[in-house]
Chains A and B, each alone.
Chain A
Amino acid sequence: MTAGTGWPALAMFAAFVLLTLGITRWAARRTRTADDFYAAGGGISGFQNGLAIAGDFMSAASFLGISAQIFADGYDGLIYSIGFFVGWPILLFLMAERLRNLGRYTFADVASFRFAPTPVRTLAAVSTLMVVLFYLIAQMVGAGQLIRLLFGLPYPYAVAIVGVMMTFYVLFGGMLATTWVQIVKAVLLLGAASFMAGAVLWRLGFSPEALFASAVDVKSAAATKAGAPPAAAASAGRAIMAPGGFIKDPVSAISLGLALMFGTAGLPHILMRFFTVPDAKAARTSVLWATGWIGYFYLLTFVIGFGAIVLVGTEPAYLDPAGALRGGGNMAAVHLAHAIGGDLFLGFVSAVAFATILAVVAGLTLSGASAVSHDLYASVWRRGRADESAELFVSRVTVVVLAGIAIGLGILFERQNVAFMVSLAFALAASANFPVLLLSLLWPGCTTRGVVAGGAVGLTLALVLTFLSPAIWVTVLGHAEAVFPFSSPALFSMPAALLVIWIVSRLDRSGRAIVDRQRYAAQRVRAETGIGAVGASRH
């Protein structure tokens, strides 16, 4: 399998690269101002933005990772999907429209709306860069492994190719190219996944019950073959229909659940998408579309995972002599593509998986670059007096630097667990960005000192607890027992952030605090009605 996908995959891959370069060229001609570069000129429709958001969310980690988890453990994959999914309604009810009405390019615009800009933007930029970096490493490692497996390229080259291509999109096409690459990829991925799930169900007479029953039989047969007595084999088969090893203890379960749910509402590259639409109504519509597409996608992934158990898990050609998947656990969906549509469809799915990584990485890099150029350079360092071309220059330089860092860390962290890095990024977003945004939007008493202290505590605590958790303290550093025994910090770090914001704001007697509280009414009116919102009169 190593270099074995042959010319169909390469041809599809080349076609996708040409198409996206065409999009970038088209977008580059339309990208002149900062508004174009950061926010696609505010001209993306609600439907288009919904697809782009869905695209950001349907990363390779979701498509390959969740279908692989279902292939291995069955039901557990669904728990992850649901956690990722339920953040969307919350984001809509509490934030989406307000973000559009208050912000311009970055979520720091919103968080610092009524506060002293320098400290709040600095905090927001630092936490944005942390979240982006961990998410970026996860995607780069996944990309490198996938390309190495599909095309037989050495790992460092594979990572470098992703980094260089992504730089092209962002550097020349800005948000417009990044958005359209994301939309094209979302359509391709939804199409491919629909075809796969449809083919699986067709083979089983369109009966989910038959699909589940066959999967249980396959797992039971495997257990029997491994020497289990009949009763134990039967229960091993049934185990894939119930929660299993995913949950080690209830505290970890709840903690990870919170991180996934509220992390969604704090991911900078997702929040940034709400600035690309013309108004609050379009922001609202885009969440509805995104929720629909993402929900549909997770249902497909579930069918694909179970389909892989039945169609891939029984086929010796896809397994190595020990009975494990050829090319590693993440390849379940890719093998299923071959089982369904032969070399041609395998090539198509491989190219789509690659496109997925590229598009997500581009969006992440753009949000990291805007934190540096718009928040740190233009607002903090130049106190809002930077001219636009200088700001854009800084942004483009940052894109290149971030790409370099991502390639370097991607190669360095080759053996790191991708799912762990993703859940860390979500935990950081839930512990720093989300509490800051939530209270600055909804609580009149909130002050500059409060959000800065609370955000910093949330970010630091999430990092420290992760460092002391089993994944780092025991697995990486080799200590016997973890200081922090749970797998996700969010259950502690997120409430800590909210509490610190509340206490510090309450005790804040500074002159700035008076201004902060006074300006809430005006902020609220603009958040609710869009009066005075940037871009409201542009269309």
Chain B
Amino acid sequence: MGDDQLEAVAQSPRYRRLVKRRGRLAAVLTTIMLVVYLGYILLVAFAKDWLGRSLDGGATSVGIVVGFGVILLAIALTGFYVWRANREFDGEIAAIVAEASA
């Protein structure tokens, strides 16, 4: 398929909607991950004592919970993106490809 046909696809409303929706999802999730991670690094740099405080009187510190929270959030965001993509975007892409080759 040549560049001309690809550019024809680029004009189709269905394609434009897909790009817009997927782009927005990726931008939102990327921003969440960046903000959370930079926030974590800033805590490590400027709030060591707070991270080292005991969570509930025992040995487990606030930092452990926060750190594991960042890891679990990263997995959750990844899972959410894959779930949305499988559920919504794949069908749309198949329709766009079918339109283009029709």
Select which of B40, B86, B90, B100 is within 8 A of A82 by beta carbon. Answer: B40
Select which of B46, B71, B81 is within 8 A of A299 by beta carbon. Answer: B71
Chain A residue nearest to B27 (CB atoms) is A93
Which chain A positions have C-beta within 8 A of B71?
Answer: 81-82, 85, 295, 298-299
Which chain A positions have C-beta within 8 A of B40?
Answer: 82
Bound: A468/B79 CA distance, A = 41
Residue pair A532, B82 in contact (C-beta under 8 Å): no
The smallest beta-carbon distance between A344 and chain B, in angstroms, is 32
Residue pair A522, B52 in contact (C-beta under 8 Å): no
Bound: A281/B58 CA distance, A = 45
Chain A residue nearest to B26 (CB atoms) is A93
Interface centre among A89, A295, A519, A531 (most CB of B within 10 A): A89
**A164 interface contact, C-beta 8 A:** no
Which chain B positions have C-beta within 8 A of A241?
Answer: 52, 59-61, 63-64
* Residues of A bordering B, CB below 8 Å: 75, 78-79, 81-82, 85-86, 88-90, 92-94, 97, 208-209, 212-213, 215-216, 238-239, 241-244, 246-247, 249-250, 253-254, 257, 261, 281, 284-285, 287-288, 291-292, 295, 298-299, 519, 521-522, 524-526, 528-532
Residue pair A82, B37 in contact (C-beta under 8 Å): yes
**B102 interface contact, C-beta 8 A:** no
Residue pair A209, B67 in contact (C-beta under 8 Å): no
Bound: A291/B33 CA distance, A = 14
Which chain B positions have C-beta within 8 A of A246?
Answer: 44
Which chain B positions have C-beta within 8 A of A521?
Answer: 6-7, 10
Residue pair A78, B67 in contact (C-beta under 8 Å): yes
A contact patch SS: helix
Number of A-B contacts (CB under 8 A): 161
Which chain B positions have C-beta within 8 A of A291?
Answer: 74-75, 78
Select which of A94, A239, A249, A299 is within 8 A of B68 by beta carbon. Answer: A299
Which chain B positions have C-beta within 8 A of A82?
Answer: 37, 40, 67, 70-71
The smallest beta-carbon distance between B73 and chain A, in angstroms, is 9
Size class of the B contact interface (CB-based, 8 Å):
35 or more
Residue pair A238, B52 in contact (C-beta under 8 Å): yes
What would be 12 A-B contacts, judged by CB atoms less than 8 Å apart?
Answer: A75-B51, A79-B67, A86-B74, A89-B74, A212-B60, A241-B61, A243-B48, A281-B86, A285-B82, A524-B10, A528-B18, A531-B1
The smallest beta-carbon distance between B17 and chain A, in angstroms, is 11
Which chain B positions have C-beta within 8 A of A79?
Answer: 44, 67
Given A291-B78, A525-B15: A254 in contact with B52 (beta carbons within 8 A): no
Bound: A298/B22 CA distance, A = 30
Apart from A82-B40, A89-B29, list 9 A-B contacts with CB within 8 A. Answer: A89-B30, A89-B78, A97-B85, A242-B48, A281-B90, A292-B75, A522-B3, A529-B93, A530-B93
